[in-house]
Structure 1
Amino acid sequence: MKKILVRVALVALAFLALRGCFGTSWNQRLTLVIETPQGEVSGSSVTKVSFSPRNKIILRDLDSSTLRLRGEAAMVEVLPGRWLFALLPDQERLLYSYVSDQQADGHIGLEEAIPVIQDQTDPLTLDPNSRSSLDFATRYPILVTFDDITKPETVRQVDPKNLAAVFGEGVRLKAVKLEITEEAVTEGRVEGVLGWLGPYPEPHLIPGDGRSSAAPFGMTVSHGDFIRRP
């Protein structure tokens, strides 16, 4: 009888351990809305965020909760032949940061925030011209463009508060919208514009070590910042 109870306990323990390994996922759409002299233009992409929870039984105090993003960068043709891209790094944490900031008792952990994130029904809109509780510099995706779309080394970062410096007078970022969606992950759009995108492992747009403060911006940007495959 004791052996049976021990086996039952071990099976239950194994079940709970495996259960702790399971995660969840959701799709989210990021939309760039740009005001131009010719009128308003917009572009969006749908990415998939996968959540892997901390396994409290196996890993104990080690917090290994992670968020992983799959998909491609949102992009919009601001002017004929002139594109603006919202890079992928840190986009998986945008909704978490927002949900965490809205808590009356302060920040909440990633695992506690997941159900709240998945229940989000209203789009989150970030306006660069408004004073929000969100930290604009750290919560916004990195925006980039290319002086020559066929040459990756011509990449340059764009100040979200001053698109006119790159695209000309009358061009400004009106809003960035982020929302939960049931739409499928966007595929093929970025590769259709950036024909030079390569397979894994993704090199930097300018070869070299981008860790130096004097390194050109292109050394800090990789192909994987525009597209992440399964």
Structure 2
Amino acid sequence: MKKIALLALLLFLAAIGLFLAVVWNGYEWHQKLTVTMDTPNGPLSASSVQQMRLSDKRGPWNPPEGSGVSFTLSGEAVVMELAPGRYLFALLTGVPSLGRLLHPKMDVIDAAKLLERGEAEAYRSVTLSRRDYPLLVTFGDMNDPASVQRVDPANLEASFGPGYRLQSMTLALTEEPVNTGRVKKVLAWIGPHPELKLSPPTGRTSNIPFSRRVGEGDFIRGKT
């Protein structure tokens, strides 16, 4: 009887494992976002290693409303100190999947498999086009979340003064660990609640301030 019970348990666990593999099939890889700037003191670069996860929930076990492919990015924003106390952040918002950039004609699942396996071809760096830039921001006062300001990638001089220009943004597959602690080091008020916006609700339905459109989860997301 014990052998039968053990066999039944093993079969049950195997069935659960198969079910989860079908329903929650996913692929993960690390991609490195690097921002390079021209400054009055010469070129400057900063980067952040982030984790992209593709979840494939297609198949007969998933209801139509829950079926499909989704991407989840975790990690931290790129932090670049352009001048003493003046920082540029390339947020997690808008960072593309490297698979789409490296293999635009390939099925997203097949591309994700290549990235997760670390195929040698995929290690080359991709220069982002303007449409793939993540959101860029800065702060008028680093201690005041509500002072967040959008930065125009085509006109950094408007935010930082003469001599500042975005040279390039690149994305590359990497085996480096996901960065942690860099954002918290310069934004001490960042907490563990990604859903929080950077300023309180205004009660308005129009003329909503930019600080209500940006949340803590745009700077830090996931287990960092």
TM-score by length of 2: 0.82
Residue of structure 2 in register with 1:34 after alignment: 37
Q: CA deviation at 1:110?
A: 2.8
The question of whether the paired residues in 1 share the 8 Å contact of 2:194 and 2:221 is answered with no
Equivalent residues of 1:210, 1:216 under 8 A apart: no
Does residue 179 of structure 1 match 2:181?
A: no
Q: Which whole-Å CA distance do the structure 2 matches of 1:66 and 1:210 have between them? A: 32
Q: Is the 8 A contact 1:99 1:117 kept in 2?
A: no
Provide the residue aligned with 2:72 in structure 1: 68
The equivalent of 2:111 in structure 1 is 113
Residue deviations 1:25-66 (CA, integer Å, cap 9, x gap): 111111110110111111111111122112413016553322
How far residue 67 of structure 1 moved from its aligned partner, in angstroms, is: 1.4
The AA in structure 2 aligned to 1:227 is: I
DSSP-derived class of the 1:23 partner: strand
* One-letter code aligned to 2:72: R
- Report the CA distance between 1:111 and its aligned residue: 2.0
Equivalence for 1:166: 159
Q: Does 2:20 match 1:18?
A: yes
Alignment correspondent of 2:126: 124
Q: Deviations over 1:136-193 (max 9, x none)?
A: 23x1100000111111111100010111111111110001111110001100010000
SS of 2:180 mapped into structure 1 = coil
The residue aligned with 1:129 is: none
In structure 1, what is the equivalent of residue 3 of structure 2? none
**Aligned mate of 1:43, from 36, 46, 56:** 46
Q: Please give the alpha-carbon distance, in whole angstroms, between the structure 2 residues aligned to 1:166 and 1:85.
A: 12
Q: Which residue of 2 aligns with 1:229?
A: 222
Once superposed, what is the RMSD of the aligned Cα atoms?
2.6
Unaligned runs of 5+ in 1: 1-6, 127-133
How far is the alpha carbon of 1:212 from its aligned partner? 4.3
Q: Is 1:205 aligned to residue 203 of structure 2? A: no
Amino acid at match of 1:172: R
Number of residue pairs aligned between Structure 1 and Structure 2? 208
Maintained 8 Å contact 1:46/1:183: yes
Q: Is the 8 A contact 1:99 1:116 kept in 2?
A: no
Task: Report what 2:140 is aligned to.
Answer: 147
For residues 191 and 39 of structure 1, what CA distance do their matches in structure 2 show? 27
Cα distance in 1 between the residues matched to 2:102 and 2:173 = 13
The Cα of 1:90 is off from its aligned counterpart by 3.1
Cα drift, residue 109 of structure 1: 4.3
Contact 1:210 1:219 in 2 (8 A): no
1:203, 1:223 within 8 Å by CA — same for their partners in 2?
yes
| Structure 1 equivalent of residue 4 of structure 2 | none
In the alignment, is residue 78 of structure 1 matched against residue 78 of structure 2? Answer: no
* TM-fit CA distance, 1:100: 5.3
Identity %: 39
Q: Report deviation, 1:202.
A: 3.5
